[in-house]
Amino acid sequence: MIINCPFCSIDEDKTRIIEEKERIVVILSSPSLMPGHILVIPKRHIEKISELNPDERADLFDTAIEYHKKIIERFSKGCDMRQHYRPFLAQSDVKVDHVHIHLLPRENEDELYQKSMQFERDMWQRPDEIELQKFVELFGK
Ligand SMILES: [Zn+2]
């Protein structure tokens, strides 16, 4: 447990806990990007997904999938799942150095799309030969 980590010691006055399991806690994100924005968090403080032990991996992804299913059954047509690792950013109220998965309810051209993601479309491009060679060498066998 890390002092000053909001996910190691969840403030129940400020944070709505949806479910608590043996190794996982599910909360409503606060602040949130959109209504129904949920965070699935392993209880143990780790910063990278590679540090999850096998039980935590299974519980984290099983719980994320369980809530992904609930969101699309009960709330919205779509749901994004995100996980970030950005050690170059300081911890803040929107960046916490404790592994968590975001579940974001999505609709066609919703507010998140209108305000941010539509600009991603212009960035999509086919990798060139140099990039292909570089990343095959980096990540290949
Ligand atoms: Zn923590």
Q: Ligand 1 centre from 47 Cα, in Å?
A: 8
Compute the distance from residue 23 Cα to the ligand 1 centre, in Å: 13
C-alpha of residue 96 to centroid of ligand 1, in Å: 8
* Ranges of H-type helices in the chain: 54-74, 111-115, 129-139
Q: Please tell me the predicted confidence (pLDDT) of residue 93.
A: 86
Q: Hey, what's the torsion of the CAs at 33, 61, 68, 103, to 10 degrees?
A: 0
What distance in angstroms lies between residue 48's CA and the mean position of ligand 1's atoms? Answer: 12
* DSSP code at position 44: S
Distance between Cα 130 and ligand 1 center (Å): 39
Domains of the chain: 17-108 (3.30.428.10)
- How far does the centroid of ligand 1 lie from the alpha carbon of residue 36, in Å? 22
pLDDT tens-digit map of 98-117? 999 999 999 999 999 999 99
pLDDT digits (tens, 9 = 90+) for 82-96: 999 999 999 998 899
* CA 94 to centroid of ligand 1, rounded, Å: 14
Q: What integer pLDDT is reported at residue 1 of this predicted model? A: 80
- The pLDDT of residue 121 is 87
Residues 6+ apart with CB under 8 A from 20: 26
Residue 92 Cα, ligand 1 centroid: separation in angstroms?
13
Q: What is the pLDDT of residues 3-40, one digit of tens each?
A: 889 999 999 988 999 999 999 999 999 999 999 999 99
Three-state SS at 78: strand
pTM across the whole model:
0.93
pLDDT at 67 over 90: yes
